[in-house]
Structure formats: structure tokens, C-alpha cells
Chains A and B, each alone.
Chain A
Amino acid sequence: MSLKIAAVLARILEIMFAVGIVGSTVVLVLSGIEDIKTLFGGEDEHHS
């Protein structure tokens, strides 16, 4: 029983991690594009 609960918790952690990694990769790409603009001076600071 406890092994089953552990397995369910493990799956939840796996999903959280997988979804997070995919989203973080998008963060990495988008912020990387902004970084290039910042470094080469093409970016205007925006306020949201």
C-alpha cells in the first residue's frame, strides 16, 4: 500500500518536473533572445 502511495507521489513529482523543464526551456530561449538584444543594445526597457 505504502509502495503504491510512493509510486503515485513519484509520478506527480515526475510530471511536475517534466512540465517545469519544458517551460523552463521556453524561458531559457525567450530570455536568451532578450539577452542578445540587451548585450547588443537593441532593447528598449519595457514596463508591464
Chain B
Amino acid sequence: MSTFQTPSPANRVRIVVATSVMLTFISYWRAAAIVLNDLASSAFYACGIAEQAVGKSAPWFIVGVMLFSFAVRAVYVESCSMFVRGGVYKVVKEALGGTLAKFSVSALMFDYILTGPISGVSAGQYIVGLINETIATADTHGWIPRAVHGLFHGTPHLNVDLTSVVFALAVTIYYWWENTKGIHESSEKALRVMQITTVMVVILLAWSALTLFKSGYNPVPLPIPENLHFSKESLGFLHHSFPEQSIGKMFGLLGILIAFGHSVLAMSGEESLAQVNRELAHPKLKNLKKAAIVIAIYSFVFTGLSALLSVMLIPDAVRVPVYKDNLISGLAMYMWGPLLLRLIFRAFVVVVGFLILSGAVNTAIIGSNGVLNRVSEDGVLADWFRFPHRKYGTTSRIINLVVILQIVTILASRGDVYVLGEAYAFGVIWSFTFNSLSMLVLRFKYKGVRGWKVPPNITIGGTEIPIGLLSVFLVLLSTALINLATKSVATVAGVSFSIVFFVIFTASEHANRKKYALSKQQMKDHFQLLQSDTVERAPLGIRANNLLVPVRDYNTLNHLRWVLEHTDTREQDVIVMTARVSQFGTAAYGLSAEQMFDDYEQTLFTRAVSIAESVGKKVSLLVVPARDSWSAIAQTAHNLESSTVVAGLSSKMTPAEQAFALGTAWEAIPEPKEQFVLQIIRPDGIVDTFRIGPHTPTMKNEDVVLLHRLWLNVTREPGLENIHHHDILTEALTRFARDFGAREHTEIVKDLQRHRVDSNATAPQVRRIADQIATVQPEPTRTERDGDAE
């Protein structure tokens, strides 16, 4: 169903702007895996940080936070049921206006900026811990030469914090480059990481149960004020007013609240639920709920139970002094069983930690990039930041800014996970608080239909009181406020960061206002934006079997010129489309037609129109939002019934790779669907043509000869005189399919790999087989009798 707004004056170029993102939808399992890649990563450092702050009863607070995360998850489900394109910026802006939305985004940015450094440094701590432990074990067996001892003044070891900083910098720089090139985020990868993590969690829990049975355990002190032992750092500004050990006794519940505040980062990552909501398959709400249940149970079991087990199994003498920054490694080392087996499991823990934590570094860059892109599209960040990278088309300036901030944070932390964790909690708790406050306000401000509401709700005098939502907000607000007092580093850093970003956003918005007014006027003079819910032929007024020309960089439009020079547009329509790609993180946010078509798209389409005018041909213009450009092209070609897609040569892919990427996107489109042709126009005018979808393959001459010889031989058999060439192929393919699924699978794969490396290398072999057939049973040349000659 399409809806249209403005009428069409004849003197302006019409552009159809699709407003629905062309997404490939994912199951709730995959959605849960994406969120858990962020949420479960905190299990690797949250309990260590909490125990340093509040003492040995910290695991109970981690368990409490994980239980409370079930309630926070309910708020996010309600928010996602209202705003499919949710996200804290959208929700807060709707409820509380632009100013608080800018503050909430600043807090979210602080969260994202800190996610990278804490994850990178934590992964480094696990790796360096393993290396040092392995060297120490080797040394006890006398495997380290004495000369090496001399160099290190004892058993060789790496400086844990320094090496972790180096590691975090290396991972951050690696993902900076990947994101600059335009990394493709796949839910498949997230699912694989979570499958491997699940194997580790199952082994961890089972082995821990065995150890508890065989070796006993240390009791975990109950979470009561008497058992809280705050450090000087964990009281922050309160340290000046209250003696360290008496605060718990002076204010019993306040002590619990302070401890809760120090454990809250265990649920960081919950906000990713809003980001994946958009991509969930139908029925969306039910799948969202299922994903949320999986996420909550998984993180409760992993983060909550591993925290309890670490105190139960790791002796007090080493838990904080040695393993505070790599508690799960410590857990592996204190399992019941031989040392070698424990070291192997520890190595597995480190591998899983590396996968999930380095993934979180990447998520942090993608998330920050997404949020800053979104606010930039709203005019609160200078357009300069969104200018695409010349070669890769990514918003590299935003990525650079984010990564510079992360590198500065890593260097400033000097590898101290505790400091990073304390600061990180600021962003986490305030972005949750803003979100829940906004949802609370919206209960009174917006009375329309909601997919779901946080229970319970009671109605008094016709007014509905959202008891559940209010309760969650009260816990979040009280935690956020107490954290301001107890986390001095986080408060100073977080507030300063938020104010700096808020000032930048406000100043940019002010500066952009005039420019936008002028730009909007120019756009209104030249272009007429027609908003359409979906991409269909009717709104564009085009015929089937048209040519679709995707464009991105206004400096490389040679392929459009080529198309227009070779096409009679009276016979075949040409559609110029650009995909407004919003990566993971931005897909959560909706854009209006004007936001979809801003300065860059104006310049791009102005050039496209000028090429069309110079050739004297007519083109139709289309903007589609998408998560990735290949899906957008494949789905647009499918929806518009295009016969051909004509693209320019990519700066980072070969024509065959481009065809493979488009083919993969085509495979994801549900049936029924039509094949189409892809033409890649190289800068020198050479055209590479590919068929997208199932098609008759191009056969080499030697393959045709072999097929013909086989056919000749088969037709000699009694009763097979009338057989066709395609019957030979059917039989050959059937046998291939059978063998491929059975014992000859490996051999076939090896042959195909050899063939892939050098397709010409197998040609002599094919010719030799064809010659052997001819030598055994010579036969004069014949053609198939029914005209099926090939």
C-alpha cells in the first residue's frame, strides 16, 4: 500500500522516497544472539569490578541486577511495541523533547565509547593472564631457560595492564579499519559466537557442579548491610562525609543501593534489544518477547551463576589479587581435575572471551556511528561528519571521531578495568533511566494503541496508573542518582563528556538551522519528494522489464551514462536508485523523507539528472532505506520487475564478487521471484554480464564435447537410441547429488577446490576423458535426431 503527499508540479524532478527499510528479517534466536553478544560480554568483567567495590557479597548483587534486568527488558518490549524504529533518541524526543533527547544521546554515546575500551582491555587481561599462567606453569617444570630468567629478573611475565592496553589498541584499530571499509555485520556470525559461548557455559556449569560436589565451596556472604565492605574508591564523593565501613550500618538500605549501583553494568547491552527489533520476522511482538526471554534467561544463567561460582570456588587469597580482571579464567583454574585439563579449559575461556569481547568492540564502533549518523540526520551534528569516504562510501569521519575518543580512553585508563567499568556504568544507567522516564511520560501523553504494556496497571478515576513502569523507573533513577555520588570518576567523566557533546549538538543545530532552511528551499525548487511506504512500479509510473541503475558516489556515474547511451528510454524505463544504508544501530531509527534525501542525495541526483539531460533521456529517481546495499538492489529489482541491473565497478570487489553478493541477496528474497541480469560497467567500458538466480550455465567447449561423446556412446545401447543430451545431464547431476551427499563428498569437494583455483587446469583432463571415450568406441559425427542438438 502506497501513500502520497505533495501534488506534482511539472517543473520539478520527481523523486520517490521509500520509507520502509529493505531488511532481511531474522528469527528471534538470531536477534537474541546479536543482543547477547553485547550483554553476555559483561559476564567477563562485571563481578570482578563489583567485588572490588562492595566486597565478597557482590555476586548476590549481580544476581539481583540480572533479575531486575527482566523488568528492564519489559520496558524495552513496551518501547519497541510502540516504536518499531525505537532507540533512546527517538523515544526520548517523542516524550521529553529535543533538549533531553540530546542529553540522553550524550549518555548513550558515553556508554558506546566506553564499551569498546572496557571490552578490549578486558579481553587483553584474559589473554595476558593465560600467557603468564602458562609461562609460570612451564617454569615450574623447568622448561624456561635460565638465561630468560636473567632477562626478566625471575619467571618471565608480561606486564598485564600495559599489554592489555596494547591489545585493546590493536583490536580497536583493526575494527576502525574494518568499519572504514564497510564491514558487513551478519547475524550468522553472532549466532556462531553464541553457540561457542554456550558450549563454554555448559562445560563451566557442569564442571563447577562436579567441583562443588568433590571439593566443597566457600559460602557467599548474604547481601545485608553488615557484609558490605566498601573501598575508598567505591564511596566516591561520599567518602569525604562518611567513614568507609559505617555507611552500610548508618543507612542499611542505602548501602544495598550503593552496592546495587556498583553491579548495574552487568546488564549493559540490554538496549541492543531496540536495535534488533526492526529486523525481527513476523509475528514481530511475539518474536520480540521470545528473544527477550532467551536473552534474560541466558544472561541470568551465565552472568549471575558464574559470579556466584567464582566466589564459591576461587579461594579468597587469589580471587581479587590475581583474578579480579579475569574471574572466569580463575574459575577454570580452580575446577576439580588435572592441571593440564584446567589449563586447556582456561584457554577455551580465553578464546570465547576474545570472540565475544572483541565483537563488543566492533559493536561499540557500529553503535556510536549509528547514533551520530542519526543525530546528524536530524541536523544536530554538522553534515561534514556524514560525508562518505571517497573509496568505501562509509561515514569515516564519524568512525574516526569515535575511535579517537576510544583510543584516548584506553590510554587514559592504563589498562585499569575497574576504572573503565565504573565510568561505563554511568552511560548504561542514564540511558536506561531516560528510556524508562520517557515511556512513563508517554503513558500519559500518548493514549493510542500499544502492542504491549509493562504490568501491572491499575485504573483510578478513569486514569491508568502504570505501577510496573513507575517501579522500574524508581529503581533506575535512584541507582543513577546514587551512582552520581559514589562513582566520582564516572560522574566527572560522564557529566563532562555529556556536557561537551550536548554543547556540540546544540551549537551544530544552531549553525545548521540557517543552512538547512536554504537547502530545503533549494530542494523544494528542484525536487519534489513523493513519499511511499513500499517500492512499487505504480508510484514511479514505470513499466516492467526496466533497467535499474544503482548509484552511490556522484564522482563515479559512468555506468549511468553508459546505460543512457545504450538504451531507448521510450521502449525501456531507466530507474536511478540510491540506497540510504543505515548500519546496525541506525536501523532502529526512523527518518522522514526530507531526512532520507539530504545534501548528499541532492548532489548525487543533481549530477544524475544532469547526465540524463546531457544525453536527452528520461530517468526515474528512487531513494530506498536499507541495512545493506545488496539487499536493497535485489529487493528493488524484484519489486519493480526489472530485467537488468546495471552497476559500476566496485572499488573493493571484483565483478564476480559483486555478482555473488547480489546473488546472495536475491536468494534471501521469498518466492515467487524472477531472475534478472546484472551488468557491471568497468571504467574502460568493458561490460561483465551475470545472470542472477537459477540459469543455464555457460558451458566450455571441452564440456560440450564430453557431453556429446557420452551421448553418442549411450545411444548405442539397446532402447536408448532416442535419448537426449539433457537426459545425460539429468543422470550425471542426479549421480553427482547422490555422491555429494554420501561417501565421495570429501573427494568431490577437493576436486572442486582444485578446479576453483585454476579452472583451466581441468580442461586437459576433460579433453583426455572425451578422447578416451572416442578411442574406445569411434563414431562418425551425429546430431541429436529431434533437433535438440546443442
The interface of chain A, by Cβ under 8 A from chain B, is: 2-3, 6-7, 10-11, 13-14, 16-24, 26-28, 30-32, 34-35, 38-39, 43, 45-48
Contacts and interface: CB of A to CB of B under 8 A. Distances in A.
Contacts of B478: 13, 16-17, 20
A24 B471 contact: yes
Nearest to B473: A20
A10 B451 CA distance: 38
A26 B456 CA distance: 7
Contact of A13 (B257, B467, B470): B257
A9 to B, nearest CB: 9
B71 A24 contact: yes
A24 B472 contact: yes
B472 A3 contact: no
Interface string B455-467: 1100000000001
Nearest to A21: B475
A16 B435 CA distance: 18
Given A13-B478, A13-B482, A39-B290, A24 B68 contact: yes
Contacts of A35: 289, 293
A19 B477 CA distance: 12
Given A28-B71, A30-B456, A38-B290, A13 B481 contact: yes
Given A31-B74, A38-B289, A16 B472 contact: no
Interface of B: 67-68, 70-71, 74, 241, 251, 253-254, 256-257, 260, 283, 285-286, 289-290, 293, 449-456, 467-468, 470-479, 481-482
Contact of B475 (A24, A31, A32): A24
B661 to A, nearest CB: 37
A10 to B, nearest CB: 5
A45 B251 CA distance: 44
A6, A20, A38: which has the most chain B beta carbons within 10 Å?
Answer: A20
Contacts of A30: 455-456, 468
B293 A38 contact: yes
A20 to B, nearest CB: 3
Contacts of A39: 290, 293
Nearest to A35: B293
B253 A17 contact: yes
A3, A23, A30, A43: which has the most chain B beta carbons within 10 Å?
Answer: A23
A45 B471 contact: no
A42 B470 CA distance: 28
A45 B253 contact: no
Contacts, number: 105
A27 B453 contact: no
A2, A10, A32: which has the most chain B beta carbons within 10 Å?
Answer: A10
Nearest to B261: A17
Contacts of A43: 286
B455 A31 contact: yes
Contacts of A19: 471, 474
B471 A20 contact: yes
Given A20-B475, A30-B455, A10 B70 contact: no
A32 B479 CA distance: 24
Nearest to B74: A31
Given A19-B471, A20-B473, A27-B468, 8 more contacts: A16-B478, A17-B253, A17-B256, A24-B71, A24-B468, A26-B455, A28-B70, A38-B289
Given A13-B254, A17-B253, A30-B456, A22 B71 contact: no
28 contacts: A3-B241, A10-B254, A13-B257, A14-B251, A14-B253, A14-B254, A16-B477, A17-B256, A17-B257, A17-B260, A17-B478, A18-B253, A19-B471, A21-B68, A23-B467, A24-B472, A26-B467, A27-B454, A27-B468, A27-B471, A28-B67, A31-B71, A34-B289, A34-B455, A38-B290, A46-B452, A48-B452, A48-B453
A17 B70 contact: no
A32 B481 CA distance: 28
A11 B580 CA distance: 51
Contacts of B467: 23, 26
Given A13-B482, A17-B479, A20-B475, A26 B468 contact: yes
A6 B242 CA distance: 11
Contacts of B289: 34-35, 38
A27 B667 CA distance: 42
A35 to B, nearest CB: 5
Contact of B474 (A3, A23, A31, A47): A23
Contacts of A7: 251
Contact of A16 (B283, B286, B449, B474): B474
Contacts of B257: 13-14, 17
A28 B300 CA distance: 13
Contact of B251 (A10, A23, A24): A10
A24 to B, nearest CB: 4
A34 B290 CA distance: 11
A13 B475 CA distance: 9
Contacts of B475: 16-17, 20-21, 24
A3 B474 CA distance: 24
B74 A27 contact: yes
Nearest to B476: A20
A48 B456 CA distance: 13
A34 B452 CA distance: 11
A3 B479 CA distance: 20
A28 B292 CA distance: 13
Contacts of A6: 241
A20 B474 contact: yes
A48 B70 contact: no
A13 B254 CA distance: 7
Nearest to A32: B70
A16 to B, nearest CB: 4
Nearest to A36: B293
- Sorted from nearest, which 7 A-B pairs have the closest CB atoms? A23-B471, A20-B474, A20-B475, A30-B455, A16-B478, A27-B468, A14-B253
A14 B450 CA distance: 32
B254 A23 contact: no
A32 B454 CA distance: 11
Contact of B286 (A24, A38, A48): A38
Contacts of A21: 68, 471, 475
Nearest to B472: A24
A16 B455 CA distance: 19
Contacts of A24: 68, 71, 468, 471-472, 475
B471 A26 contact: yes
A6 to B, nearest CB: 6
A21, A28, A39: which has the most chain B beta carbons within 10 Å?
Answer: A21
A17 to B, nearest CB: 4
Contacts of B481: 13
A26 B457 CA distance: 11
Contact of B71 (A13, A14, A27, A47): A27
A48 B455 CA distance: 12
B290 A27 contact: no
Nearest to B284: A45
A23 B70 contact: no
A43 B471 CA distance: 25
Contacts of A11: 251
B70 A31 contact: yes
B451 A47 contact: yes
Contacts of A10: 251, 254
B251, B286, B290, B478: which has the most chain A beta carbons within 10 Å?
Answer: B478
Contacts of A38: 286, 289-290, 293
Contacts of B454: 27, 31
A23 B470 CA distance: 8
Contacts of B283: 45
